[in-house]
Structure 1
Amino acid sequence: MQKIILLFLCSLSFAQDNNTTVQNHNYIDQAHSILSNQTESMAIAIDDFIANKIDTFLYQPKNQAVHDPGKADALFQSEKFLNETRKSFIKLSTHGQYNSKDANDFGETISASLALNRSNQKFKLFINNLNSDQIDTLTEKADNTEGKTEIGLSFFEGINKSVASKYSLGTRGFYPFTRARFSYKKMIDDWKIEPVQSFEYSTKDEFKEHTIVYFDKNMAHRKMLFRIEVQRGSSTKGEGMDYDALLHLFWTPNDKEGLQITQGFYGNTKYVATVNDATGETQIFSGINNYLTQITYRRNIWRKWFFYELSPGVNFSKAHDFKPNYRIFAKFDIIFGKI
């Protein structure tokens, strides 16, 4: 990972030191084009193999649902976008987060999505959360697989015009997992309502399930999106039930930049709170244990494949007696492939 970043930075330095600006830009664009074409070639080769082997199984009637993410989700690369997109890309991200009370976080990750379009866009190879710290421990056993690298294959299936499903099979660290995601879309007046239910079973973390309901309303000639997001979830090895509520306001005046304002509330029915640091005494807390207010600005600059993101915010958590934790998050994304 570090070598990839160094090579890219070296190419940028070389471009700046060269006397001919046009040649510099051509060099960087050509390098990006080559890597993007390789991304597409990889997807096509795998796609041909799958389509030739099970072509009959891959037939998808036209009346089946295909839930594609909207403009705001695509720009901000939201979790909804990553779950629903069928485009091929490789994304290299570097990020840093400063917190006044919590630990700071700096690092880089690679995510990849290789859409297999010949197979009626049904299959997608994915890599999530690959970073330099995990490359050497990719197949090591661990007590907790949360945040571990995921590698696997997803299969999209439209059940009818309103219901879409997605099935995934892969590994997280050393442990295999299987996941199913079902989404339903319904328009009520000006609101688009989309409940999403997912189920997952892994040999390490056992059973998990998660529910999200999106309430979306477009405003200002579709340049603004107001979203209410309600979530809940439980797991075999987790105590209680998680529940969240988030309010988002997206403003995307064009395809290159956007602003997102978020107010979040997070809780758990059996949150374990430390009431005495000296003795380690704890008690069960069932109310909201974290409040978050955050503004995110994301912009595409210099090239259509280069993005930066800046996100200041403050959160009040039970872990810090609801005292303010001021935070600022910065990220750079380089995207190869279809964007």
Structure 2
Amino acid sequence: MWLLLVSDGMAEGNTSQQEGYMDELHKSFSEKVLEWSDMVDVTLSEWLGGEENSTEPGRAKSEEEKLLKERTSTDAFFQSDKYLGETDDTYLRVRFDTQFQNREENEFNVRVSAHLPLSRSKKRFNLFVEDVNKDNAKNVLEDTDEKNAAPRLGINYFAPEAYGVRSKYSIGLVGIHPYVRARYNILFETGEWIIEPVQSFEYSTKYQFEEETDLYFDTQPNDVSLFRLQLYRKTETRTDGMDYAFIFSYFYTGSRETGWRVSQTFWGNTQYSYSVDDGTEPPVMSEPYGGISDYRTELSWRRNVWRKWFFYELMPSVNFHRRHDYRPNYAFRFYLDFYFGTYRW
């Protein structure tokens, strides 16, 4: 914690100093990332007979689009799942993720994610790599029964907007198993609110079918804050019942360097069951339960410090889960994020 306070105090002074060793190292690595992306881009362009990148037709910016830009910048700053699911920004992110909990195992991981553009081959394509970490990197070429135990890589295609509907299509691999994914969203403006339904479908040769719906209600109490109500539901072949959640979030970004978020989440399932911790092998499953199974309150403080490509985030939380008989599980999560390439927030 003292290290964070010292780094905060030195941030303003350091940004005006002459570039040092870390800046040169970051610049060199970023150039390598872009060179690699460009090499892949040229190769795919030759294979596909692609067109040179061209500018999108210009159009007037509506009030809806201005508000969309403001809420998108908030999601980009906090690196929300919504932003990561829809962005075509260029970045390579290295995340150090540490979590301490009093009722579950502590965790430490290093995760790598990337989105790289293919402007020559097709202006709407980009390569993606999602959450490669020290645990799943060894499963790239392995057959695993756990979907989250293998990294994802593939190509995104951002289709032209049609009748107000934005769509993104993905094809790639989960470990060694092919999958396809489609994501659709549309915006509605009602007074001071923007309503955005998002629907996605995914099919994998290994993990079969899943579909997910998110409904966002966003409004801005003032220029530096955003209030969001998110309604969520999901079904998948390998899980009984339907997952659902209600999430209330308040975001505050008083400056480009600092922001905080507070959220209250209610998670549930129509046929929820969990492993009973009684030491038996294989573990005994609880009786199916329909209702809210987890209540979570979370506070997040995110800070861009020292350089534009370095962030830290502190996330204290408490949740009350059915498998712990709704006794409090106190947790503290800590992120360090490093960005390379031409990523901008």
TM bin (shorter chain): 0.7 to 0.9
Contact preservation (8 Å) 2:129, 2:153: yes
| 8 Å CA contact 2:144, 2:150 repeated in 1 | no
Candidates 29, 32, 39, aligned match of 1:38: 32
Q: Match of 2:23?
A: 29
Whether 1:269 aligns to 2:270 is yes
Question: Which position in structure 2 is the counterpart of 1:328?
Answer: 332
Structure 1 length normalisation: TM-score? 0.86
Partner residue in 2 for 1:18:
none
Aligned to 1:238: 239
- Counterpart in the other structure of 1:224: 225
Percent identity reads 35
1:126-275 equivalences under 5 Å are 126-160=128-162, 162-221=164-223, 223-273=224-274
- Structure 1 residues 161 and 256, CA gap change in structure 2 (3 angstroms): farther
Distance apart, 1:158 and its partner CA: 2.4
Structure-1 separation of matches of 2:43 and 2:310:
32
Could you tell me how far 1:22 is from its partner in structure 2?
Answer: 5.8
Tell me: CA distance 1:189–1:236, structure 2 relative to 1, closer, same or farther (3 Å): same
Q: What is the rounded CA distance, in whole Å, between the counterparts of 1:130 and 1:281 in structure 2?
A: 30
Matched, 1:296 2:300: yes
Letter in 2 for 1:151: L
Q: Which residue of 2 aligns with 1:285?
A: 289
3-state SS, counterpart of residue 215 of structure 2:
strand
* Aligned-partner SS, 2:33: helix
Give the aligned partner of residue 6 of structure 2.
Answer: none
TM-score using structure 2 length: 0.85
SS at match of 2:150: coil
Greater alpha carbon shift after TM alignment, 298-307 vs 50-59: 50-59
Runs of at least 5 residues in structure 2 that lack an aligned partner in the other structure:
1-15
How many residue pairs are counted as aligned between the two chains? Answer: 317
Which range moves more in the overlay, 27-36 or 278-287?
278-287
| Aligned 8 A contact 2:187 2:195 in 1 | yes
- C-alpha deviation, 1:147, in angstroms: 4.4
Q: Distance in 1 between matches of 2:80 and 2:30?
A: 22
SS of the counterpart of 2:144? Answer: coil
CA separation of 1:278 and 1:92: change in aligned 2, threshold 3 A: closer
Judged with a 3 Å threshold, the aligned counterparts in structure 2 of structure 1 residues 58 and 28 are, in CA distance, closer, same or farther, namely: closer
User: 5+ residue gaps in structure 1?
Assistant: 1-20
Secondary structure class of the residue paired with 2:239:
coil
SS at match of 1:270: strand
After superposition, the Cα gap between the structure-2 partners of 1:121 and 1:315, relative to the gap in structure 1 and judged at 3 Å, is farther
CA change 1:84–1:101 in 2 (3 A) is same
CA shift, 1:115, in A, is: 1.8
Mapped partners of 2:119, 2:94: distance in 1: 23
TM-superposed deviation, 1:130 = 0.7
Deviates more, 1:252-261 or 1:134-143: 134-143
Deviation at 1:165, TM superposition (A): 0.5
Q: Secondary structure at the match of 1:283?
A: coil
Q: Does residue 306 of the first structure (1) align with residue 310 of the second (2)?
A: yes
Q: Sort the Cα spacing of 1:215 and 1:120 in 2 relative to 1 into closer, same or farther, 3 A.
A: farther
- Does the aligned pair in 2 maintain the 1:175–1:202 contact within 8 Å? yes
Question: Is the CA contact (8 Å cut-off) linking 2:225 and 2:250 kept in structure 1?
Answer: yes
Deviation of residue 47 (structure 1)?
A: 3.1
Per-residue CA deviation, residues 4-48 of structure 1 (Å, 9 max, x unaligned), is xxxxxxxxxxxxxxxxx967x422212111211222223333334
- Cα offset for 1:59? 8.2
Cα distance in 2 for partners of 1:281, 1:72 equals 40
Query: Quick one: distance in 1 between partners of 2:221 and 2:193?
Result: 11
Distance 1:22 1:282, change over 3 A: closer
* Distance in 2, Cα, partners of 1:184 & 1:39: 33
Distance 1:281 1:180 in 2: 33
